[in-house]
Structure 1
Amino acid sequence: MPLDPLIFGFWKVDRDICASVCYEAIKNGYRRFDCACDYGNEKEVGEGITTAIQDGLCQREELFITSKLWNTYHSPEHVTLACQRSLDDLQLTYLDEYLIHFPISMEYVPFETKYPPEWLNLDGKMIVIDTDMCQTWKAMEELVTKHQMTKTIGVCNFTTQLLRQILSICTIRPSTLQIEVHPHNSQQKLIRFAHENNMMVTAFSTFGSTSYVELSMATENDSLFTTPSIVNIAKLKKKSSAQVLIRWAIQRHTFPLTKTVNSHRMKENRLVFDFNLSDEEMTIINNLNKNYRYNDPGVFCEGMGVFCPIYE
């Protein structure tokens, strides 16, 4: 079965509505779902998946479920425990994909102390430790070869140099690189490197700033939805700005990750296969690039008292 290029994400979906949002997304045709320990709603996603399967909307084999290893579980002895916790919460016997969430290792926090651990411990501190990411990767490989807990493994928020480091020691190569990609941060070289090393690229924050305004990490003036060139192309195609941005991501051979709790927008975001962007239109959108990240630990971690850059 070919992979659906459209991925539904659960970052910032409230737990109170998450199960019903998951169910509705499956009902509206989504089959790829992006989850994470850190999102704090995997139990509810699991409820939505279980109910959808019980109601005959889909079979487990039709779904592609991703979860992620949080920063506090990078020590090899914690990797299996973390993956199993996500499996239990999602009510699954296996994942289709398990990713290292950030190349940032933090002090271990036991489940019974705080779950999800988030960025700050119970003392309100973010404690970064030195962990060999290659050893973390070797433990990730055992999730596939020894424990059969996930079919594939990959990484998020890695640079080309970090990818080279993993590729130099791996037995199982990363299947996926998940990174922030939108017209303000097109990441052309990193995507090319990933593709040339046979990795799929999942593009999060497909709409740019929209997820970050409420977090005070962006302003309304940053919106791609109202950018004149995007609006003009959308009018010409008789599509929404969101649909144009999704189509741009697909034509760059990436897998766009979007999120909405609105059923109408779930449907609208899938109506992107009946038009194409011309080479000229792709170039116009590409030229919006300014190498600007909204999700940058080197910026937001300073608000937690730690300078933690992962990008130059």
Structure 2
Amino acid sequence: MVKVPSISMNNGLSMPGFGLGTYESFGEAGRATKHAIDVGYRHFDTARLYENEEEVGKAIQEKIKEGVVKREEIFIVTKLWNTDHEPEKVEKACRKSCEKLGLGYIDLYLMHWPVAFTERTPYEYWPLNDDGQYDNADVDFLDTWKSMEKLVDLGLVKSIGISNFNSQQIKRLLANCRIKPVNNQIECSPQINQKKLIKFCQDREIIVTAYCPLGRPIPADKKPGFLYDAKLGDIAKKYNKTIPQIVFRFLLDIGAVPIPKSVTPSRIEENISVFDFKLTSDEIKYIDTFNTGERVLEFTEARNDKNFPFGIEF
């Protein structure tokens, strides 16, 4: 079993420095979560959007009943969706996630995006207006955050954070918050290494979590290119690792917490086996050469929203 190091957060609590992502693993997330717990994972990332909170929660509950883990050893992350940004909706949305997870409390609750949507129906996550743009609601994320702060007071969540926020939005939040965000979850891989945003967050004691750490692999097209790079393959051979393992080690070495998604037992085990080596500065510099800034998730339908996060460098 792999022992994952913990990282101290700015509120005195800590989070495991590697996790299991569960996006697009509906129906398989429970099985993946159980296996992940058996091999050493303690950090699990879900969201209302993923529609698998109940599945992940039940898997964790079963492992607790089996005596494999204790609740306090598990770090569960879920997220407030864009249609629940109105201050009066935040607590209700959080309680619903708590109920689905069935774990008593949420370790880390994130605002999934700084952009708010108008809710039309309960399960319409991406409402579009007549212009084909997201049907955005005029809600200030500062007001949403104030309601999230109350969740900590109520004991529903231990920590709160953000996701997909840029540096300007973080500055504005820090200037107006009562409780600082402990985490910013962002897309981060060799093709968008986010070093400037990571440094910005580190300087403000905000941990960065890396989603889509391998981009979005398309094997038939050999994309993204870094997964098929000969020199990266040589680096992997040097450490007796795979290229994905080298990528996760790279992200750890530049200060991010990877949360790769997998439902394949062998891959789940492989992904976490990255704490027995470190890359050299030259190897990190080489992997930096793949940084094009290209995103998997461009969120272009929200580009006209005042809180669209990707309109500046970082």
TM over 0.5, shorter chain: yes
The aligned runs of 1:113-262 (5 Å cut-off) are 113-115=121-123, 117-120=124-127, 126-145=134-153, 147-210=154-217, 213=218, 220-262=222-264
> What's 1:94 paired with?
105
- For residues 118 and 52 of structure 1, what CA distance do their matches in structure 2 show? 31
- For residues 219 and 114 of structure 1, what CA distance do their matches in structure 2 show? 37
Is this contact kept in 2: 1:208–1:223, CA < 8 A? no
Identity score, percent: 35
> What's 1:105 paired with?
116
Is this contact kept in 2: 1:209–1:219, CA < 8 A? no
Which residue identity does 2:162 align to in structure 1? V
For structure 1, the residue ranges without an aligned partner over 5 or more in a row are none
Number of aligned positions between the proteins: 296
Is this contact kept in 1: 2:161–2:181, CA < 8 A? yes
> What's 1:41 paired with?
52
1:223 CA drift (Å): 4.0
Please say if 1:55 is aligned against 2:66: yes
Which residue identity does 1:14 align to in structure 2? F
SS at match of 2:210: strand
Is this contact kept in 2: 1:209–1:224, CA < 8 A? no
> What's 2:87 paired with?
76
Is this contact kept in 2: 1:94–1:150, CA < 8 A? yes
1:50 CA drift (Å): 1.0
SS at match of 1:225: helix
> What's 2:9 paired with?
none
1:232 CA drift (Å): 2.1
Is this contact kept in 1: 2:119–2:127, CA < 8 A? no
> What's 1:284 paired with?
286
Q: Deviations over 1:242-292 (max 9, x none)?
A: 110010011112111111111111111121112111010011011211111
Is this contact kept in 1: 2:113–2:165, CA < 8 A? yes
> What's 2:22 paired with?
10
> What's 2:266 paired with?
264
What's the TM-score, normalizing by structure 1? 0.89
- For residues 165 and 237 of structure 2, what CA distance do their matches in structure 1 show? 36
1:157 CA drift (Å): 0.3
Is this contact kept in 1: 2:34–2:63, CA < 8 A? yes
- For residues 82 and 171 of structure 1, what CA distance do their matches in structure 2 show? 21
- For residues 106 and 234 of structure 2, what CA distance do their matches in structure 1 show? 41
For CA contacts below 8 A with separation 6 or more, give which structure has more relative contact order. 2
Is this contact kept in 1: 2:222–2:228, CA < 8 A? no
- For residues 295 and 275 of structure 1, what CA distance do their matches in structure 2 show? 30
